[in-house]
Structures are given as structure tokens and as C-alpha cells.
């Protein structure tokens, strides 16, 4: 068997790097290591193997194991819009040591549209491997007139179309028709290429790879409040110079305020995190320990280099900062609850 150039070198220096890594761990995390050693963890990924979360789960689990001396097994539990896996984490027995890797803003989307799902308070967010935004995609040679009232067809897979399509669509004042039933992001992109539909949406990071693979597609807008670093050429939804700001200049102040508020809300809700979480029923000492260890894991140089080798983007956020971001989005939902419910009622 041939080996990748450099692999042997990496393996031979692996123990040295690990030693340096362990030395760099803060004292509180050091104390946790003995608590987690030889424990058996399960990392639940509520999607099918091979998807966008798969690679992140593998590199995180390997690094977590190396750091703690524990065993972390990955279980893929797809189905019901990720709810089967998320429920498995939220309802897991505390002694089973079940972590989850999924996007917690799914729960916020479900809350708005009234779908059954666990409360965000039923989970403790331990940290996030990266934050992603949403990109809107079109065929390369198709012109997009932002101020047109023409009907536009959007391919929609899954169940997050309210926060990623309809809500920003309302902020833009667009006449959007959803074509529902696509079974995955690949199918949606295919539909755009075939011109069955006009647009499709997906997370920016995975979209960058898929656009390269497919060819003939481009991101024309991102659901951000400024230029997206992945697609700096694309228009952006909210903030100064954003599409909504430009489109609402002629409207009265009240209408401008409402549309721009919706745009800001869309940006917050369109963010997705590859977040590690655990049931809030777990013992608080273990939670504190995991917060420290997960933070050490996701910020480690070792994880960065392994992720880079596998073409995975890492932008870690610690548990406390992640919770603040999710809480902020939840507070925005609460303060705009009536308007959101009106919109949900309109589209249903």
C-alpha cells in the first residue's frame, strides 16, 4: 500500500504534537481529562453519512479521543428533518454520554413554523466548529432583477425554507413560489442547472465546493449583513449597501424599518453552526468539564491542520459565545413574534 507523502512524517511527530497540545491545556481542562479518560462517548450526527457534517464529525471525534483518552463513536441518525437525531441527544440518558453535532438554529426555525422539536434549553451548547451563512444560487447566465415583481421559482429541500427563503424573500418584496419535494441540495442545484427553477439556497461553505464541481452556477446573493468572505463578489441581503436597503429607499420610513428589520432577522436565522451539544439533564460538573475540553479540542492547532488537509473550514466558537449568539437570535424571534406568525400564516 502506498502512503500519502508526508503521512509518515505526521505520524512520527504526532506524539510530540499531542504532548505539546496537552501541555497547552489550561489547568481546569487538565483536571477534566482524568474524568473523561476511558469513557465511551457517542457523537450523534442527525444526517446521512457522507453529508456536510460527516467530515467534521470524524475529525472532531478523532481529536477529542486523542486529547481525552476516551472513545467517541459516531452514530448517524437521519430522518424527520434531523429531529430523530436531535431528540436522541436531547432525551439521552445522562450516563450514556451522548453528544450531538448539528445546527441548533433548526430548532428556532421549527419554533417559528410550529413544528414539534425540543426547546433550545433542553441542550447545552458546548461549542461550534464553524459558522456558515446561506447563499442563494442561480445559473451563471441568468440575469437577476432585484426590483422586479415577476414570480420566481425556488427549489426547496428539507424544512428550513421559511427562515432561508420566505423571510428574506419578504424583506426583498419578491413574489416567491416554492417548488417543494427536492430530496437534497444536489437535487436543488441540478434543478437550477436544468432551469426547472430559478434559484436554490444552501450553506455557503458547502456551496463553494459544489459550485466548483457542477460548473455553470453562481452565488448571486448571500444572506449576510455585508460581503461574505466566501463569495465577496455576491450581493448581500442586509445592512448598509445591502440589497434590501437599496430596494427600500423609495418606501416610507415605517415600511423601510419593517423590511430592514426582517432582513436583519433573516441574516441571524440563516446562520448555521456545526455545533457540539449535550442534553441539559447531564450533571453540571460534567458539562463544565466538557465545555472546557470541547473548547480545547476545537481551538487546537492539531484539529486545524487535520481539517485543512481534508478541505474542511474551521471557525470555532466556544460554548459561551455560541449560546449568546443563539440566545440573541431567539430574542429577535420573540420581539418579532407577531409579525413572524403573520408571515407563517400567509405562506401556509
Partner 1 sequence: MPYFEALGLGVAGVFSWPGILIPIAGTLLAMITSFLPGVGSTSLAALLLVLTINWDRESVLLLFGAITGGATFMGSITAILFNIPGGASSTPTLLDGYPLGKNGYARTAIACAATASAVGSILGVILLMVVLPLVRPFLLEFGPLERLLVGIWGLMTIISVPTGSPMKASLMAALGLVVAMFGVDPASGMPRWNFGSLSLSGGFGLVPVLVGVFTISELISWMRTVHLEKAIPNTAAPDDSTRKGIRSVFQHPGLVLRSSMIGSLVGMIPGVGGTVAGFVAYGQSVQTAKGDKTQFGKGDIRGLIAPEAAVDAKDGGSLLPALAFGLPGSEAGVMLLAVFAVHGIVPGLPMLQGQLQLTFLLVVALLFSNLLTSALGIAATPWLARLKNLRIDRLALPCMIVSILALLQLESRLLDVYTAIGFGLVGYFWRAHGWPRVPFVIAFVLGSLIETNLVLTSQLIEFGRIVPHERVASVVLFVMIFGSILWLRTKRTDSERSARAIGGDVVLGALTTLVAVVLALIAFNGGAAYSSYAKGLILLCVGLGMVIVGWNLTTLHRTDIALFHQPLRWASHLVPPSEQWVPITLMALLGIAIWITGVSMAIGLLASIWFFYRAKPTLFGRLRALAFGMLIGFGTFYFVNNVANLLLPDSMLASMLGI
Kindly state the smallest distance separating residue 239's Cβ from partner 1, in Å.
Answer: 31
204, 210, 222, 266: which one contacts partner 1 (CB under 8 A)?
210
Among positions 286-325, residues that touch partner 1 (CB under 8 A) are: 309-311
Considering the complex, what minimum distance in angstroms separates the CB of residue 221 from partner 1? 22
Hey, is 8 helix, strand or coil?
helix
| Contact residue for partner 1 among 37, 96, 324, 327 (CB under 8 A) | 96
CA distance 298 to 21: 12
Of the candidates 37, 147, 195, 334, which one interacts with partner 1 according to CB under 8 A?
Answer: 195
CB of 254 to partner 1, least distance (A): 34
Nearer of residues 2 and 346 to partner 1, judged by Cβ: 2
Decide if residue 39 touches partner 1 (CB under 8 A).
no
Complete DSSP assignment for 156-189: EESS-HIIIIIHHHHHHT-EEEEEEEE-SHHHHH
In angstroms, what is the minimal distance from the CB of 315 to partner 1? Answer: 18
What sign does the dihedral 301-306-310-315 (CA atoms) show? negative
Q: What is the smallest separation between the CB atom of 253 and partner 1, expressed in angstroms?
A: 36
Q: Does 193 bind partner 1 (CB under 8 A)?
A: yes
The answer to whether the CB of 121 falls within 8 A of the CB of 166 is no
Q: 2-31: which residues touch partner 1 (CB under 8 A)? A: 2-5, 7, 11
CA pair distance 12, 237, nearest whole angstrom:
48
Measured from the CB atom, is 177 or 342 closer to partner 1?
177
- Which listed range, 43-51, 139-147, 258-266, 295-303, lies at the site for partner 1 (CB under 8 A)? 43-51
Q: CB count, 10 Å around CB of 326?
A: 22
Q: With CB under 8 A, what is the number of residues at the site for partner 1? A: 64
Q: Is residue 81 at the binding interface for partner 1, with CB under 8 A as the rule?
A: yes
Start-to-end C-alpha separation, the chain = 57
- Here's the x/- map for partner 1, 173-192, by CB under 8 A: it reads as ----x-xxxxxx-xx-xxx-
> Which of 284, 309, 272, 293 lies closest to 41, judged by CA?
293
Which of these segments, 152-160, 229-237, 268-276, 318-326, binds partner 1 (CB under 8 A)?
152-160
Say how many C-beta atoms besides its own lie within 10 A of residue 187's C-beta: 13
CB of 323 closer than 8 Å to CB of 125: yes
Query: What's the burial of 178, exposed, middle or buried (CB within 10 Å: 0-12/13-18/19+)?
Result: middle
Question: What does R_g of the chain's alpha carbons equal in angstroms?
Answer: 21
**Do 123 and 273 contact (CB within 8 A), yes or no?**
no
Quick one: which H or E segment has residue 150?
A: none
Q: Provide the binding-site residues for partner 1, judged by CB under 8 A.
A: 1-5, 7, 11, 40, 42, 44, 48-50, 54-55, 58, 62, 73, 75-81, 83-84, 87-88, 92-93, 96, 98, 116, 151, 153, 158-159, 177, 179-184, 186-187, 189-191, 193-197, 209-210, 212-215, 309-311
Amino acid at each position: 500500500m502506498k502512503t500519502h507523502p508526508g503521512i509518515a512524517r505526521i505520524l512520527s511527530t504526532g506524539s510530540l504534537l499531542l504532548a505539546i497540545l496537552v501541555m497547552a491545556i489550561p489547568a481546569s481542562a487538565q483536571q477534566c481529562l482524568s474524568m473523561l479518560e476511558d469513557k465511551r462517548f457517542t457523537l450523534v450526527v442527525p444526517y446521512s453519512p457522507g453529508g456536510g457534517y460527516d467530515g467534521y464529525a470524524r475529525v472532531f471525534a478523532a481529536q477529542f479521543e486523542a486529547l481525552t483518552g476516551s472513545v467517541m463513536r459516531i452514530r448517524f441518525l437521519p430522518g424527520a428533518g434531523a429531529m430523530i437525531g436531535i431528540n436522541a441527544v436531547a432525551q439521552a440518558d445522562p450516563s450514556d454520554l451522548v453528544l450531538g453535532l448539528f445546527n441548533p438554529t433548526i430548532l428556532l426555525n421549527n419554533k417559528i413554523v410550529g413544528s414539534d422539536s425540543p426547546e433550545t434549553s433542553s441542550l447545552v451548547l458546548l461549542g461550534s466548529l464553524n459558522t456558515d451563512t446561506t447563499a442563494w444560487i442561480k445559473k451563471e447566465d441568468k440575469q437577476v432583477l432585484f426590483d422586479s415583481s415577476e414570480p420566481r421559482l425556488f427549489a426547496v429541500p428539507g424544512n428550513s425554507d421559511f427562515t432561508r427563503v420566505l423571510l428574506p424573500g419578504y424583506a426583498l418584496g419578491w413574489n416567491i413560489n416554492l417548488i417543494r419535494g427536492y430530496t437534497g441540495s444536489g437535487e436543488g442545484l441540478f434543478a437550477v442547472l436544468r432551469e426547472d427553477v430559478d434559484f436554490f439556497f444552501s450553506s455557503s461553505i458547502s456551496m463553494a465546493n459544489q459550485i466548483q464541481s457542477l460548473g455553470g452556477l453562481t452565488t448571486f446573493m448571500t444572506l449576510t449583513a455585508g460581503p461574505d468572505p466566501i463569495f465577496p463578489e455576491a450581493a448581500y441581503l442586509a445592512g448598509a449597501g445591502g440589497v434590501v436597503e437599496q430596494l427600500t429607499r423609495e418606501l416610507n420610513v415605517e415600511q423601510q424599518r419593517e423590511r430592514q428589520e426582517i432582513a436583519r432577522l433573516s441574516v441571524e436565522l440563516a446562520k448555521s453552526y456545526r455545533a457540539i451539544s449535550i442534553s441539559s439533564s447531564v450533571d453540571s460538573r460534567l458539562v463544565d468539564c466538557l465545555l472546557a475540553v470541547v473548547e480545547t479540542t476545537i481551538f487546537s492547532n492539531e484539529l486545524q491542520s487535520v481539517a485543512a488537509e481534508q478541505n474542511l473550514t474551521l471557525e470555532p466558537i466556544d460554548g459561551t459565545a455560541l449560546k449568546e449568539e443563539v440566545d440573541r437570535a431567539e430574542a429577535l424571534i420573540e420581539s418579532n413574534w407577531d409579525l413572524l406568525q403573520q408571515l407563517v400564516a400567509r405562506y401556509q
